[in-house]
Amino acid sequence: MTTYADLSSFPRGMRVAIFGSSGGIGSALYTMLENHPNVDQLFGFSRTHPDPQFRIDFTAPDSISRAVQTLSDIAPIHLAVVATGILHDDHIGLAPEKSWRHLNAEAMATNFQINSIGPALIASEVLPLMARDSKSVFAAISARVGSISDNRIGGWHSYRASKAALNMLLKNFALELQRRNPDGIVMGLHPGTTDTGLSKPFQSGLNHDLFTQPEAAAHLLTVINSATPENSGQVLAWDGQIIPA
């Protein structure tokens, strides 16, 4: 017997959009929701999607507007998750900095484009399409290292700063959404260290759990299902704990 994630806080016949559906966590979320009895329509968007209609490129903002147009035809949307992010890329020489001596303008711009600007542009297009007569959630994958008050060791300057910027944007959007839809939720999600390409070079010597992609996706869906309007603007970890700003 198939066990499905609990989405009982949402109405039946949900319309869901996953941005970054070809990545580790995004693809796991898509798989878990693909045949879910509560989900009526599911859309996946990614940089490598075979259908140009569902292809998004954060370096080409017009691709976001074009892709989201697909959703406007079937709105309202009950759940939208931005499951994208970058930490390193050997092809362009991108790596987390250990010191301010390693800062590079191009690398910093790439971090902000993928981790902050892209999700913000998606939010600007998707939030007007979110349901108003029932629970709706717009969530973006963030990171604990984006917390300023929780920063104890420094380093990873561009990644930390880009995630902190994302968290501020989500807070701003939550406040703006509250004025038009008090029941709407905008939130960040910290999935914990997950076995994906993003974390692969940094998995040795972990002193905490390493989650599989399905485990991480299941945790995040549990947090999303439990979220209330009081959580709007917050960043929640995989276990439901609030991550300080």
pLDDT of residue 164: 98
Residue 7, domain member (yes or no): no
Task: Give the torsion sign (CA, 214, 233, 66, 77).
Answer: positive
pLDDT of residue 1: 63
pLDDT of residue 88: 80
pTM of the complete model: 0.93
pLDDT of residue 94: 85
Rounded CA-CA distance 19/2 in Å is 25
Residue 53, domain member (yes or no): yes
pLDDT of residue 196: 75
Rounded CA-CA distance 182/15 in Å is 20
Residue 231, domain member (yes or no): yes
Domain of residue 233: give its range.
14-243
pLDDT of residue 197: 61
Domain count along the chain: 1
Which CATH number belongs to the domain containing residue 107 in this structure? 3.40.50.720
Residue 138, domain member (yes or no): yes
**List of E strands, the chain:** 14-19, 39-45, 79-82, 136-141, 184-190, 235-237, 242-243
The answer to whether residues 191 and 208 touch, using CB atoms and an 8 Å cutoff, is no
On average, the pLDDT of the chain sits at 93
At residue 171, what are phi and psi to the nearest 5 degrees?
-65, -45
Residue 3, domain member (yes or no): no
Which of the residues in the chain have pLDDT under 70? 1, 197-208
- Condensed to tens digits (0 to 9), the pLDDT of residues 79-104 reads 999 999 999 887 777 899 999 999 99
Residue 70, domain member (yes or no): yes
pLDDT of residue 203: 53
